[in-house]
Amino acid sequence: SADDILRVIIKCINFAAIKHKNQRRKDPEQTPYINHPIGVAKILTEEGNVQDVNIIQAALLHDTVEDTETSFEEIEDEFGSTVCQIVKEVTDDKTLPKAERKRLQIEHAPASSPGAKLVKLADKLYNLRDLERVPPQGWSAERVQEYFNWAQKLLMASEAQTKI
Ligand code: NDP
Ligand code: ZN
């Protein structure tokens, strides 16, 4: 019901806000990190016309395991296995070096589930808009361009098996 959807979305926002409470974005204003997952979810609802509540929940939670002390068990217990599965698909293996993680995102993209692709692409779109708005401190124009190039590769790899 509409009540349950509202409850579960607010529960996700609250969970993510607590988990990310000490984190900031890399922009010069050091925007609170929570602005990012909320913005990614908004891209999916407003621009992607996504109506699947599990996908919106996964968008709100997408950086909790990768960037905070959150386990997949916690996500599964609180939000169920469907949401947890999508978050798993969009979470990098933190034991690997950054460059390898970026390479693996492209390698894994074609076979990812539609929900994971939507979250990943909205995530990249948000970050590209952020970089265009203002680059993080210490980022050269070349580094920003490199991120755009990598994001384009990820987009093309994602399109390989799913028409989006
Ligand atoms: P990243 O390229 O991983 O940093 C971008 C990530 O930071 C985004 O994916 C996003 O991830 C997050 N983020 C936080 N705030 C912002 C913001 N305001 N705008 C955009 N993204 C933001 O950089 P790392 O510091 O992790 O460096 C690793 C990689 O960078 C290496 O693989 C290397 O190739 C490259 N590099 C290039 C250099 C160069 O000069 N060309 C120099 C050094 C590294 P999320 O969605 O998870 O928040
Ligand atoms: Zn993200």
- Please name every residue paired with 161 in a beta bridge, in sequence order, or none if there are none: none
pLDDT the model gives residue 104 = 98
**Model confidence at 44, in pLDDT bands (50, 70, 90)?**
very high
Is the model's pLDDT at 91 over the cut of 60?
Answer: yes
Q: What is the mean pLDDT of residues 128-150?
A: 98
Is the model's pLDDT at 102 over the cut of 90?
Answer: yes
For the whole model, what pTM was predicted? 0.96
pLDDT the model gives residue 69 = 97
Is the model's pLDDT at 81 over the cut of 70?
Answer: yes
Q: What is the mean pLDDT of residues 126-142?
A: 97
pLDDT the model gives residue 160 = 73
d(CA 25, CA 40): 14
The catalytic residue among 67, 74, 76, 159 is: 67
pLDDT the model gives residue 164 = 54
Q: Which ligand is nearest to the CA of 140?
A: 1
ipTM given for this complex: 0.93
Does the beta carbon of 3 lie inside 6 Å of ligand 1? Answer: no
pLDDT the model gives residue 52 = 98
Is the model's pLDDT at 32 over the cut of 70?
Answer: yes
State yes or no: is 66 an active-site residue. yes
**Start-end of H helices in 20-140:** 35-42, 53-61, 64-67, 72-79, 81-89, 98-108, 114-133
For residues 116 and 54, is the Cβ–Cβ distance under 8 A?
A: no
**Model confidence at 162, in pLDDT bands (50, 70, 90)?**
low
pLDDT the model gives residue 163 = 56
Which mutation among 63, 98, 154 tests ligand 1's pocket best, with the greatest number of atoms within 8 A of CB? 98
- Nearest 5 degrees, angle CA 42-CA 47-CA 9? 30
**Model confidence at 161, in pLDDT bands (50, 70, 90)?**
low
Q: Which amino acid is at 121?
A: L
Which mutation among 23, 25, 137 tests ligand 1's pocket best, with the greatest number of atoms within 8 A of CB? 25
Q: What is the mean pLDDT of residues 8-26?
A: 98
Q: By alpha-carbon position, which residue is closest to atom 39 of ligand 1?
A: 143
Does the beta carbon of 143 lie inside 6 Å of ligand 1? Answer: yes
| DSSP codes of every residue in 18-45 | HHTTT-B-SSTT--BTTHHHHHHHHIII
Distances 97 to 39, 94, 103, 110 between C-alpha atoms, Å: 27, 8, 10, 22
Closest CA to 9 of 48, 44, 43, 58: 58
Q: What is the mean pLDDT of residues 83-111?
A: 97
